[in-house]
Amino acid sequence: MSDSKIHFGIVGAYGRMGQAIARLSLEEDDLELSAAFEHAAHLGMGKPFSIGARQMDFALEELNDSTIKNLAKYPEKVVVDFSLPAALTNTVKVCEQANVPLVIGTTGYSEDQYKHILEASKSIPILLASNMSLGVNLLFALVRQAAASLRGKGFDAEIMEVHHKHKKDAPSGTAKSLEREIMETGFAKKPIYGREGEVGERTAEEIGVMALRGGDVVGDHTVYFFGEGERLELKHQAHSRDTFARGALAAVRFLAGKDPKLYSMADVLNL
């Protein structure tokens, strides 16, 4: 009997998102978590991987050309990366060489890493997303529509994002995606990451991008369009990482068996 399941592995498997994805995958009949990867110095390396109190029948490993073979042997397989930018280059290289589709949820990567991802997507299917929730991806579309409609009509755009105190990059990848949606319409040209001191009057070409950090905030993003005598706010609040984890599992399902190309969550959600 052939294996009809989609087998997947998680890079950053003991991170907050990695654990959320792993836990929710246990509820899915068509998905099978078959590999878990972390950095070489992780204390769980070589020990059975655990999802909360549940111990799996495979060990935590470092991702390399050898360890990915256990995943690559399946007809349908995908790697999901929710690690750190420092690990991303290796993930892309290993997946490309092993011909394994890759979902990337890691943010904060460099321009050179983005170019590497683009090049690799000519060989394997890659889904790159700064945020995997349905609501945020709808927000992207709404912000683009608003920016296109308000362009040249005396409005100023600003972005505010709020995350928990443990988040390492700022501004968030989602905030940068929102910034890009606005800039691609020609609404503005120059992102300003925070303001301090005698900065002078705001120019029409600016987009202010502000980042707040504190507590356990999962993720809030607000885009402001300020006009004379009126203000439009487009906002999304995430209350649980499960929102992003479900999106990641949908991305795994979507990407398995796809042709080499760079995909986004807009493709998954038909937006």
Query: Phi/psi zone of residue 190: left (φ > 0), alpha (ψ -120 to 50 degrees), beta?
Result: beta
Per-residue tokens: 20? 């959320």
- Indicate the average pLDDT of the chain: 95
Q: Where are any strands of DSSP class E within the chain?
A: 6-11, 31-37, 48-51, 54-61, 77-81, 102-104, 125-128, 156-163, 190-192, 206-213, 219-227, 230-238, 261-263
What residues form DSSP beta bridges with 104? 81, 128
Q: Is 166 exposed, middle or buried (0-12, 13-18, 19+ CB in 10 A)?
A: exposed
Q: Which residues are catalytic?
A: 163, 167
Give me the mean pLDDT over the 137-164 stretch.
97
Q: Which pLDDT tens digit goes with each residue over 11-55?
A: 999 999 999 999 999 999 999 999 999 999 999 999 999 998 899
Length of the chain: 271
Q: Which pLDDT tens digit goes with each residue over 188-230?
A: 999 999 999 999 999 999 999 999 999 999 999 999 999 999 9
Position 1 pLDDT exceeds 60: no
Query: Phi/psi zone of residue 102: left (φ > 0), alpha (ψ -120 to 50 degrees), beta?
Result: beta
Position 236 pLDDT exceeds 80: yes
- Separation of alpha carbons 199 and 213, rounded Å: 23
Position 187 pLDDT exceeds 70: yes
pLDDT band at 108 (very low <50, low <70, confident <90, very high): confident
pLDDT band at 178 (very low <50, low <70, confident <90, very high): very high
Q: Could you give all domains of the chain from N- to C-terminal order, each with its CATH number? A: 6-128+241-269 (3.40.50.720), 134-238 (3.30.360.10)
CB 26, CB 37: distance < 8 Å: no
